[in-house]
Amino acid sequence: MTSLVLAAGAEEVHAHLVTGAADGTRVRHTGWAVAGNAVETAVTGDGARVRVTGSALVSEAVALHGLDTATTEPVPAGTALGPAAAVPVLTGTVTGRSACSSRRCD
């Protein structure tokens, strides 16, 4: 896999080129974990945008190309920054083309 990250402030764009994987192979891209006393998660839009909020922080992942499903993954034991935590997750299927996502963490 070859990856390129463009970052400016809290905004990041990730482009991934997956080579050598068979068509139909599932791929996964995760965002930054957010922790706090409680976290809120939301999948919005057409199912390709996910947002995790907690302790005044936001981590959002948006599928731009090649990734088609957005979910969140809880961190059952939390982190050192809080007892509750979650990670935004984007998944897709290898089709011989690249995948791109935008990740934001405020």
d(CA 29, CA 70): 10
d(CA 13, CA 35): 22
SS3 73: strand
d(CA 75, CA 31): 13
Distance from the first to the final alpha carbon of the chain: 27
How far, rounded to the nearest angstrom, does the alpha carbon of residue 90 sit from its chain's CA centroid?
5
Lowest mean pLDDT among 7-11, 16-20, 52-56, 86-90: 16-20
Q: What is the pLDDT of residues 41-91, one digit of tens each?
A: 999 877 789 999 998 899 999 988 888 899 999 999 999 999 999 999 999
**pTM of the full structure:** 0.83
